[in-house]
Chain A
Amino acid sequence: MKMKLTTLALGALMAAGPVMADLVFPSLSYRTGPYAAGGIPFADGYADYFTMLNERDGGIGGEPIRLVECETGYNTEKGVECYESTKGEGALVYQPLSTGITYQLIPKATADGIPIHTMGYGRTSAANGDVFSNVFNYPANYWNGASGVVNYLLESNGGDINGKKVALVYHNSAYGKEPIRTLEELSKKHGFELKALPVDHPGQEQKSQWLQIRRDRPDYVVIWGWGVMNQVAVQEAANIRYPMENFIGVWWSGAEHDVLSAGDAANGYKAITFHNVGSDFPVFDDIKTHVVDAGKAAGAGDQVGTVLYNRGLYAAMLAAEAVKTAQDIHGVTDITPQQMRDGMEALEITEDKMAALGMPNFGPSFKVSCENHGGPGLVGVNQWDAASKTWSLISDFKPTDGEVIGALVAEDSSAYAAENKIEPNC
């Protein structure tokens, strides 16, 4: 019981931190634990883009950026601690890179008036801005991803996958379960047979799942994995000599570190994506001059140009553009989280804008609205070339099955609205 006194004294110390007039971006990163392989490049890309803006332009609209990094270890309890400790500093937007933490933060951040941007993860039905006023998941979400995979299969089979067998190897968590409902709907629509195989956290043990795949010989295997699970899955697929070109990952299962360990056997593995890959963009020159060469790169600085680094960069770019939009709307440079929310809701990304930022064709062009927080949901396909050790885009960003996804989003978000008695926002 005595402990309480000391904790309280410590609290007074901590609460007395200085409040600065910066644009504060908390980065709930994870550089430790079984998911660190994915967490590190994303956090590095996110940090490096903001560092570059600070060094090159002096921030956004003249306001310096302050990145507050907090280690979550992909753990929801630590995520809550990170959220509580950073929200008082004027955090503009949260990007936790974890579906579990996102589920925690959706009600909390909405009550505190802080926006969340869950790019390609989180709660898919948050695309309905009418219900989820403070949550954004543009430019694409899980259900777009699921539909993108099916569309790709349709395309490579001449539009008919009736009777084909598709196995889904998924992380047995909220993250991995998200696409199942959509895939079930799509399997009814297109007549393919879906078999879901859960893999428990952290995902190192997949022998039985792959044994089952070896026995059933599905035409395609789709993987919804993250962290160490991806490498193990690619290796297991190679072990049973499953044809890699029929093995397709979601965008969280398609980075360099996921396939490198399997060596040449991983050649031809595919993954969907919602942004471009490689470092062949003018923005990387600026990052090199202002960040890497200046010795200011986040982490070890060895991740520049990897798939997840680019995704972190893309997330930071979208956040920075939302800040600019918010600054234009409200006519102030030092914006509040509420103004940031308005900026995100009015965000418009065009080809010209991306070209001006040195990121031409880096992602799809889209426009966010009050009703649609999910963007257009355009999905492309990447393929791994083991010889040159590069990912390359083999299919353009194409639209997904809006009809099926729209109905599911409406159903799930209206259930959430009813459960939590949420008034329509738009």
Chain B
Amino acid sequence: MFYREAGDFKISYNQDNQTFPIRFDRYRYYAVMVFAFAVVPFIINDYWANAIMLPFLIYAIAAIGLNILTGYCGQVSLGTGGFMAVGAYACYKLMTAFPDVSMFIHVLLAGGITALVGVLFGLPSLRIKGFYLAVATLAAQFFLVWLFNRVPWFYNYSASGQINAPERDVFGIIITGPNAPAWATYLFCLVFLAFCALMARNLTRGTIGRKWMAIRDMDIAAEIIGVNPMKAKMTAFAVSSFFVGIAGALFFAVYLGAVEVGEVFNIQKSFLVLFMVIIGGLGSIFGSFAGAAFLVLLPVVLKVVGADMLGWPTDIVAHLQLVIVGALIILFLIMEPHGLAQLWRVAKEKLRLWPFPH
């Protein structure tokens, strides 16, 4: 009824090509942006920032990054945790080496360094694909974690091998460390997420994105019609690792504050982000958000309902959580293999015709 294209006339190519061509969609998007930027910072508290919003925002960035590589370019990667570690350690080294530089620049540079490392580990993708590439990226995961555990230079020779985020600011507002206000950390991550999502959205519907998708759908055919596979794959690895690196830097500096590489950036993290992408929807920016929200929120909601409201023993709740999350993942994969994003797309199609479907 209200969600439809009728009467929404496009009179220029720009209007026709915009991200949200349907007016209602567009306004909803603006409303969410205004709400996220102008309302949430005023009502957010420590619990909401540290336990829910920060992990959601940061995992969403990582999921977008992996989605570009796996969802758009079709290169399966199990190295996300390792690449996040690169971002985290790059950020740490930069933060401690140049204390006066703004955190914005540190995080972006950390992303850039991760992009370089990503390209390096992406080189095998020129020769191998599918499961074999997954194993090659798995090697990146283990090698990078081992490296950060092994070489003391990366953790500034601290006794425990941990890295701790010192207090740093952006325009005089503390962003990292324990004294950072909740709204500042939230906004800082939100700015990066908005930037990454916009960039990813516009990359994926432009020339580069089409090349990625051509490679994903059939690399030989793509090569025949003039797509340079090396360039396409390398750019996908670079852009993807750039986002994942940003996520890793924020994960360490803003969210956790102290990181032990073997525990935080282990293979589990790679799988978690991969699950987010699969559950959210391969090849969809919205899917990255949905998948991240689903896997960040679900454990918290289950914990609140089970342990805090119903008063069940915490171990039973923790075990149930595994069962429920696992069952939901299987259920999703069977019922809707294209993920939450596809559910959303179907809902939108239905809404366009509602209430008079033919």
Please give the residue numbers on chain A whose beta carbons come within 8 Å of chain B beta carbons, in ascending order: 1-5, 7-8, 10-11, 14-15, 17, 29, 31-32, 36, 40, 69-71, 73, 75-77, 80-81, 84-85, 87-88, 99-100, 103-104, 106-108, 110-112, 123, 125, 172-174, 177-178, 180-181, 198, 200-201, 299, 412, 419-421
Minimum CB–CB distance from B79 to chain A (whole Å) comes to 17
The interface residues of chain A lying within 8 Å CB-to-CB of B160 are: 99, 103, 123, 174, 177-178
The interface residues of chain B lying within 8 Å CB-to-CB of A106 are: 258
Count, chain B residues at interface, CB 8 A: 53
Which A residue sits closest to B164, measured CB to CB?
Answer: A103
New A-B contacts (7) at CB < 8 Å, excluding given A15-B45, A71-B307, A88-B46: A3-B294, A4-B36, A31-B318, A71-B314, A80-B51, A84-B51, A173-B260
Flag if A84 contacts B47 (CB, 8 Å): yes
**8 Å CB contact of B300 from A81, A178, A412:** A81
Flag if B51 contacts A85 (CB, 8 Å): yes
Minimum CB–CB distance from B59 to chain A (whole Å) comes to 10
Minimum CB–CB distance from A72 to chain B (whole Å) comes to 9
Flag if A31 contacts B159 (CB, 8 Å): no
- Residue pairs across A and B with CB atoms within 8 Å: the count is 138
The interface residues of chain B lying within 8 Å CB-to-CB of A40 are: 315
A99 vs B162: C-alpha distance when bound (angstroms): 10
The interface residues of chain B lying within 8 Å CB-to-CB of A181 are: 159
**8 Å CB contact of A104 from B46, B47, B256:** B256
CB-CB contacts below 8 Å: B280-305 with A: 286, 289-290, 293-294, 297, 300-301, 303-304
A110 vs B178: C-alpha distance when bound (angstroms): 8
Which B residue sits closest to A1, measured CB to CB?
Answer: B32
Flag if A174 contacts B161 (CB, 8 Å): yes
B143 located at the interface, meaning its Cβ lies under 8 Å from any Cβ of chain A in the complex:
no
A4 vs B45: C-alpha distance when bound (angstroms): 15
Which A residue sits closest to B289, measured CB to CB?
Answer: A1
Minimum CB–CB distance from B279 to chain A (whole Å) comes to 13
**8 Å CB contact of A77 from B55, B294, B297:** B55
CB-CB contacts below 8 Å: B236-261 with A: 255-258, 260
CB-CB contacts below 8 Å: B211-246 with A: none
Flag if B264 contacts A76 (CB, 8 Å): yes
Flag if A70 contacts B314 (CB, 8 Å): yes
Please give the residue numbers on chain B whose beta carbons come within 8 Å of chain A beta carbons, in ascending order: 29, 32, 35-36, 40, 43, 45-48, 50-52, 55-56, 149, 159-162, 164, 166-167, 177-179, 255-258, 260, 262-264, 266, 286, 289-290, 293-294, 297, 300-301, 303-304, 307-308, 313-315, 317-319
Among B52, B294, B319: residue with most chain A CB under 10 A:
B52
Flag if A412 contacts B47 (CB, 8 Å): no
Flag if B318 contacts A73 (CB, 8 Å): yes
Minimum CB–CB distance from B282 to chain A (whole Å) comes to 19
Minimum CB–CB distance from B342 to chain A (whole Å) comes to 15
Flag if B179 contacts A85 (CB, 8 Å): no
Considering the complex of A and B, which 6 residue pairs feature the smallest CB-CB distances, nearest first?
A31-B315, A111-B178, A107-B178, A174-B160, A71-B314, A3-B293
Flag if A104 contacts B258 (CB, 8 Å): yes
The interface residues of chain A lying within 8 Å CB-to-CB of B304 are: 10, 14
Main secondary structure of the interface of B (DSSP, over half): helix
**8 Å CB contact of B297 from A7, A103, A173:** A7
With contacts A103-B260, A174-B161 known, is A420 near B166, CB below 8 A? yes
Minimum CB–CB distance from B154 to chain A (whole Å) comes to 14
**8 Å CB contact of A4 from B29, B35, B50, B317:** B35
Flag if A107 contacts B257 (CB, 8 Å): yes
Minimum CB–CB distance from B254 to chain A (whole Å) comes to 12
A325 vs B306: C-alpha distance when bound (angstroms): 36
Among B45, B177, B260, B315: residue with most chain A CB under 10 A:
B315
Minimum CB–CB distance from B4 to chain A (whole Å) comes to 19
With contacts A71-B318, A200-B262 known, is A107 near B177, CB below 8 A? yes
Flag if A84 contacts B314 (CB, 8 Å): no
With contacts A31-B315, A201-B262 known, is A108 near B257, CB below 8 A? yes
A71 vs B159: C-alpha distance when bound (angstroms): 28
Q: List 6 A-B contacts (CB under 8 A).
A: A7-B297, A15-B45, A104-B257, A174-B162, A177-B159, A201-B266
The interface residues of chain B lying within 8 Å CB-to-CB of A421 are: 167
A85 vs B304: C-alpha distance when bound (angstroms): 10
The interface residues of chain B lying within 8 Å CB-to-CB of A178 are: 159-160
The interface residues of chain B lying within 8 Å CB-to-CB of A88 are: 46-47
Flag if A173 contacts B262 (CB, 8 Å): yes
The interface residues of chain B lying within 8 Å CB-to-CB of A299 are: 313, 315
A87 vs B286: C-alpha distance when bound (angstroms): 34
A276 vs B313: C-alpha distance when bound (angstroms): 29
Which B residue sits closest to A73, measured CB to CB?
Answer: B318
Minimum CB–CB distance from B314 to chain A (whole Å) comes to 4
Flag if B260 contacts A76 (CB, 8 Å): yes
The interface residues of chain B lying within 8 Å CB-to-CB of A29 are: 314
Which A residue sits closest to B261, measured CB to CB?
Answer: A173
**8 Å CB contact of A80 from B32, B50, B314:** B50
A107 vs B176: C-alpha distance when bound (angstroms): 11
Minimum CB–CB distance from A268 to chain B (whole Å) comes to 32
Flag if B51 contacts A1 (CB, 8 Å): no
Which B residue sits closest to A416, measured CB to CB?
Answer: B164
Which A residue sits closest to B266, measured CB to CB?
Answer: A201
Flag if B256 contacts A71 (CB, 8 Å): no
Among A75, A125, A174, A412: residue with most chain B CB under 10 A:
A174
A36 vs B48: C-alpha distance when bound (angstroms): 28
A87 vs B55: C-alpha distance when bound (angstroms): 19
Which A residue sits closest to B340, measured CB to CB?
Answer: A3
A5 vs B36: C-alpha distance when bound (angstroms): 10
The interface residues of chain A lying within 8 Å CB-to-CB of B315 are: 31-32, 36, 40, 71, 299
Which A residue sits closest to B149, measured CB to CB?
Answer: A172
Minimum CB–CB distance from A79 to chain B (whole Å) comes to 10
Minimum CB–CB distance from B47 to chain A (whole Å) comes to 4
The interface residues of chain A lying within 8 Å CB-to-CB of B50 are: 80-81, 84
Among A84, A412, A421: residue with most chain B CB under 10 A:
A84
Minimum CB–CB distance from A44 to chain B (whole Å) comes to 11
With contacts A3-B289, A14-B304 known, is A172 near B319, CB below 8 A? no
A14 vs B292: C-alpha distance when bound (angstroms): 21
Among A15, A87, A177: residue with most chain B CB under 10 A:
A177
The interface residues of chain B lying within 8 Å CB-to-CB of A173 are: 161, 260, 262-263
Minimum CB–CB distance from B53 to chain A (whole Å) comes to 8
The interface residues of chain B lying within 8 Å CB-to-CB of A412 are: 159
Among A71, A112, A125: residue with most chain B CB under 10 A:
A71
A75 vs B257: C-alpha distance when bound (angstroms): 14
Which B residue sits closest to A106, measured CB to CB?
Answer: B258
A7 vs B47: C-alpha distance when bound (angstroms): 12
Minimum CB–CB distance from B52 to chain A (whole Å) comes to 6
The interface residues of chain B lying within 8 Å CB-to-CB of A15 are: 45, 47
Flag if A201 contacts B263 (CB, 8 Å): yes
The interface residues of chain A lying within 8 Å CB-to-CB of B164 are: 103, 107, 419
